[in-house]
Amino acid sequence: MTGPLVVVGDALLDRDVQGRVDRLSPDAPVPVLDETEGFVRPGGAALAAALAAADAPAVTLITALARDTAANELRALLAGRGVEVIALELAGRTPEKVRFRTGRRPLMRLDRGGEPGAVGAPPAAARAAIDWAGAVLVSDYGRGVADSPPLREAIGGVVDRVPTVWDPHPRGPAPVAGVSVATPNEAEVERLEPEPEGADVAAASARALALRERWGAEAVCMTRGPRGALLTWAGREAFEAAAPAVSGGDACGAGDRFASWLALRLAHGDKAEDAVLSAVACASSFVKDGGAGALASAVGTASGAREGVPGGEGVSVSRAVRQAGGTVVATGGCFDLLHAGHVHTLEAARELGDVLIVCLNSDASVRRLKGPGRPIVPERDRAAVLSALACVDAVEVFPEETPERLLGELRPHVWVKGGDYRGEVLPEERVLGGWGGRTEFVPYVEGLSTTRLIEEAAYRG
């Protein structure tokens, strides 16, 4: 996958209001909800982009947003997950779905904004992003973005050279001719192609094939919920991908998870059958883990703050500097018992750009790398000491041994390593290439290391 995944479609803000009900209203026989907490999460095409950003080094969302609080919340949520947003002007209000719940029981849903058709012309950056995409996913929610003639023309211009997945909506337009795979669900296929009658695989395959021919898609993959998916092509036998059994869970957002993973697997060169099998398994796991609700952020922390990091502002800092045309520098490590060699490296790194973000190994990852006796200093304290240095602008903790996933969110222009790493194969360089980042080496200070400090302290003790 040489370019970013570009997601095109209608973004929504999903808002959950959780509360307690213990009385009826005196003016009407309706329950009174005493609000206890609230959560927000990306919805619609924004959900598809946020999910893909956990798996891809670069994701761009082309959508329509109004100039309102909901749009600002969405931008913050997506920035926290490393998604670049290119917005068309949306008249009216940014769509919101507000769900009121008590315990696990829904009381009602309130929909706001998002009148279909009130979408402005796309900026030139939107068409350029599609042209440079490594894959395109159209996540249509029937609110006007997928109807934009310039965007449809741009997508039509790349379908013959990059994988293109179109997740349609009953109120939306037909997919652009030539897309790699269209992914309607079973109910949508039956509504669009009611003949032939029947619920068996042969009838479902016949309807999907008729729809494929009408749309001019290379393939139609009909999603069937807990029964998996059915992939159909012209002149080939239908391929049935069964879903693993899932008990409980939440299916909200499963279609977005399926489509986003399918687009990524196709972009990595998987055959259609393998990509569909993988996407079914991925969507099933997503449902089991709680669905879209697992992405919810408590109201007031929508900036994407990470547990264990003072402020957790690294992603926001990086995005703001990149938008202003500045240079983002990042470096990483355990930084257990901070010493003069660390400070020298950090100061040298800061001189290479406008901000320096430190990617800090979590306590668990330090133990895996250094052994059960490490770290000496817990991650919260290590982060606090690093944050106090004048050369450090933000600190982000990551749980893996190496920070590729975090770098995909930060997207730094420069990744800094000490000179002792020169000549080694660096796992970070694989993801840096996704957005044109580069690695720089700064001089290594001989004779200074945390291990040596620990050994000397033990000897003198």
Residues carrying an active site annotation:
256
What's 292-306 look like in SS3?
HHHHCEECCCCCCCC
For every residue of 152-207, which 3-state class applies, written as one string?
A: HHHHHCCCCCCCEEEECCCCCCCCCCCCCEECCEHHHHHHHCCCCCCCCHHHHHHH
Distance (Å, whole) CA 54 – CA 140: 21
Residues 6 or more apart in contact with residue 295 via CB below 8 angstroms: 41, 42, 47, 50, 51, 253
What DSSP element (H or E) covers 385? helix 379-387
Backbone angles phi, psi at 377, to 5 degrees: -110, 125
50, 85 contact by CB (below 8 A):
no
The H-assigned helical ranges of 299-377 are 314-323, 340-350, 363-370
Helix (H) or strand (E) holding 80: helix 69-80
CB 166 within 8 A of CB 217: yes
117 close to 147: Cβ distance less than 8 angstroms: yes
Q: How many CB atoms lie within 10 A of CB 26?
A: 7
| Residue 6 Cα to chain centre, angstroms | 11
Residues, the chain: 461
Three-state secondary structure string covering 205-243: HHHHHHHHHHHCCCEEEEECHHHCEEEEECCCCCEEECC
The token duo for 211 is: 């729809």
d(C-alpha 53, C-alpha 302), whole Å: 16
Question: How far apart are the C-alpha atoms of 194 and 175, rounded to whole Å?
Answer: 19
> Strand pairing of 164-167 and 229-233?
unpaired
